[in-house]
Amino acid sequence: MSAIVIEKIATRQGVIGEGLVIRRALPSKERRMVGAWCFLDHAGPMQYGPGEGLQVGPHPHIGLQTFTWMIEGQIMHRDSLGYEQVIRPKQVNLMTAGSGIVHAEDAVDNQPGTLHAAQLWIALPDAERHREPAFDHYPELPVVTQDDVCVTVLAGECLGKRSPVKLYSPLLGLDISTTGAAKTTIPLKPEFEHGALVLRGSATIAGEALTPGTLLYLGTQLDQLNIECNEECQVLLLGGEPFKEEILVWWNFVARTQAEIEQATMQWNEGRYFDEVKGSPSPRLIAPSLDGLNLKGGA
Ligand code: MN
């Protein structure tokens, strides 16, 4: 049996909407995916002033699911299926783009507020990626408390609880929170690879000291994970079977060929194919130019 791969990967700074700075943990040049999880932004915790909240205008997605885990604050989701849904703390919004959907995410009003959230994408397997688009709001997720540690099962199953979130690959998503010093052991599926990101505070995970801004990648073959918090802390743990298909991720699209990306980009920028989102106060986003881009060469 080969040694278990453990990597510490620094997140990089990203900007969403009108200048909100976030930490991007996936994809990175070191690690593109954890299972089918192919994108992870950690936004906040941050305070914003009047009119300075999230403003991400209408933009399209194909070939993926967007998965939002709200920790503090609230966001209004609007999409081209006609859904208008505020997401609040401890809730998940899941949007299955499939063959194509458009959405916008905005602060609910112009008041000052707080934002702390994890925004993830899940690549859809080839057999599912052209399916009808869908949107689901999950107001409550199953919670297990052990060793003074509160484990919320966001995706997949753990500790005898199963998340209701509708997925198309074997995945795990856990929020692990403590209100003070605590340690616990989480059972893992050895066929899954995993990634852990501290969202608040500090924790020692699999013997590695971590704070926000570092993704801990753990390869397959682990059947349990030791987590030790020295203070109040919160950790996002992702897992999944290594994704067997090669994917292309460009802008808001997950595809298999450059031709598919080019087609979706042209369709969006020319106002074809994708439906409209109504009600967002933010301007429609434009896909960047594909000129000179060779996706197969690896950008
Ligand atoms: Mn989006």
- For residue 99, report the distance from its CA to the centre of ligand 1, in Å: 14
CA of 73 to the centre of ligand 1 (A): 18
57 CA to centre of ligand 1 in angstroms:
9
Residue 13 CA, ligand 1 centroid: distance in Å = 18
Q: What's the CA-to-centroid distance between 225 and ligand 1, angstroms?
A: 32
3-state secondary structure of 45: strand
Ligand 1 centroid to Cα of residue 104, in Å, is 7
| pLDDT beyond 90 at 297 | no
- pLDDT at residue 251 greater than cutoff 90: yes
- Give me ligand 1 centre to Cα 127, in Å: 22
pLDDT in tens, 145-184: 999 999 999 999 999 999 999 999 999 999 999 999 999 9
Count the residues in the chain: 299
pLDDT tier for residue 295 given thresholds of 50, 70 and 90: low
Residue 67 C-alpha to ligand 1 middle, in angstroms?
10
Mean of the pLDDT values across residues 129-150? 98
Cα 36 to ligand 1 centroid, rounded to whole Å: 17
Q: Does residue 68 register a pLDDT over 80?
A: yes
How much distance in Å is there from the Cα of 186 to the middle of ligand 1?
31
Residue 127 has pLDDT above 80, yes or no: yes
Better-predicted residue by pLDDT, 159 or 14: 159
Q: What is the CA radius of gyration of the chain?
A: 19
Tell me how far the alpha carbon of residue 221 lies from the centroid of ligand 1, in angstroms: 33
> Which of these, 105, 91, 34, 146, lies nearest to 280 by C-alpha position?
105
Question: Residues 60, 194, 244, 124: is their CA dihedral positive or negative?
Answer: negative
> Architecture of 7-240 per CATH?
Sandwich (2.60)
Residue 103 CA to ligand 1 centre (angstroms): 6
Rounded to an integer, the average pLDDT of 190-194 is 98
Sorted by sequence, the CB contacts under 8 Å of residue 274 that are 6+ apart come out as 60, 80, 100, 101, 102, 267, 268
For the ranges 29-33, 50-54, 199-203, 274-278, the lowest mean pLDDT is seen at 50-54
- So what's the pLDDT on residue 35? 98
